[in-house]
Structure 1
Amino acid sequence: MQEDTESIVRHRIRGLRLARGWTLDTLAARCHVSASTLSRIETGRQRLALEQLVAIAKALGTSLDQLVEPEGNDDVVIRPEPEVMGGTTFWLLSRERDRRGVTIAKMRITEERTLEGPQVHPGYEWFTVLTGVVRLQLGTRTIFVYPGQAVEFSTMVPHLLEAHQGPAELLTIFDQDGEQAHLPGRRRSPKK
Structure 2
Amino acid sequence: MRIRSLRRARGWSLDNLAERAGISPSQLSRIETGHRRLSLDQLTALSGALGRSLDQLVESPDDSDVVIRPDRDDSRGLTTWLLSKDDGPQGLTVAKMRLTDQAGDVAPEDFGVHPGRDWFTVLSGTVVLYLGDRVLRVEAGQAASFSTMTPHALRGDRGPAEILCILDHHGERSHLRT
User: Secondary structure, in 3 states, of the residue corresponding to 1:94?
Assistant: coil
In structure 1, the partner of 2:94 is 104
* In 1: Cα distance, 2:59 partner to 2:81 partner: 17
**Residues 78 and 94 of structure 1 are in contact (CA less than 8 Å); yes or no, is this contact kept in structure 2?**
no
User: Secondary structure, in 3 states, of the residue corresponding to 2:90?
Assistant: coil
**Residues 81 and 96 of structure 2 are in contact (CA less than 8 Å); yes or no, is this contact kept in structure 1?**
yes
Query: Displacement, 1:118?
Result: 0.8
Query: Displacement, 1:114?
Result: 7.8
In the alignment, structure 1 residue 156 sits paired with structure 2 residue 149: yes
In structure 2, the partner of 1:128 is 121
**Equivalent runs, 1:1-192 vs 2, <5 Å:** 68=40, 70=43, 73=55, 74=58, 78-85=66-73, 86=75, 87-111=77-101, 116-185=109-178
Query: Displacement, 1:79?
Result: 1.9
Query: Displacement, 1:68?
Result: 4.7
In structure 1, the partner of 2:32 is none
Query: Displacement, 1:183?
Result: 1.4
Q: Which amino acid aligns with 2:97?
A: M
**Residues 116 and 148 of structure 2 are in contact (CA less than 8 Å); yes or no, is this contact kept in structure 1?**
yes
Query: Displacement, 1:184?
Result: 1.4
User: Secondary structure, in 3 states, of the residue corresponding to 1:125?
Assistant: strand
**Change over 3 Å in CA distance of 1:182–1:75 after alignment to 2:** farther
* In 1: Cα distance, 2:66 partner to 2:106 partner: 28
**Residues 127 and 156 of structure 2 are in contact (CA less than 8 Å); yes or no, is this contact kept in structure 1?**
yes
* In 2: Cα distance, 1:103 partner to 1:82 partner: 15
Percent identity between matched residues is 43
* In 1: Cα distance, 2:134 partner to 2:106 partner: 20
**Residues 113 and 148 of structure 2 are in contact (CA less than 8 Å); yes or no, is this contact kept in structure 1?**
yes
Runs (5+) with no aligned partner, structure 1: 1-64, 186-192
**Change over 3 Å in CA distance of 1:114–1:93 after alignment to 2:** farther
Aligned residue pair count: 121
* In 2: Cα distance, 1:114 partner to 1:174 partner: 21
Normalised by the length of structure 1, the TM-score is 0.56
* In 2: Cα distance, 1:118 partner to 1:75 partner: 41
Normalised by the length of structure 2, the TM-score is 0.60
Runs (5+) with no aligned partner, structure 2: 1-36, 45-53
Task: List per-residue Cα deviations over 1:135-168 (Å, max 9, x = no partner).
Answer: 0011111100000001111101111101110000
User: Secondary structure, in 3 states, of the residue corresponding to 1:100?
Assistant: helix
Query: Displacement, 1:66?
Result: 10
* In 2: Cα distance, 1:124 partner to 1:67 partner: 33
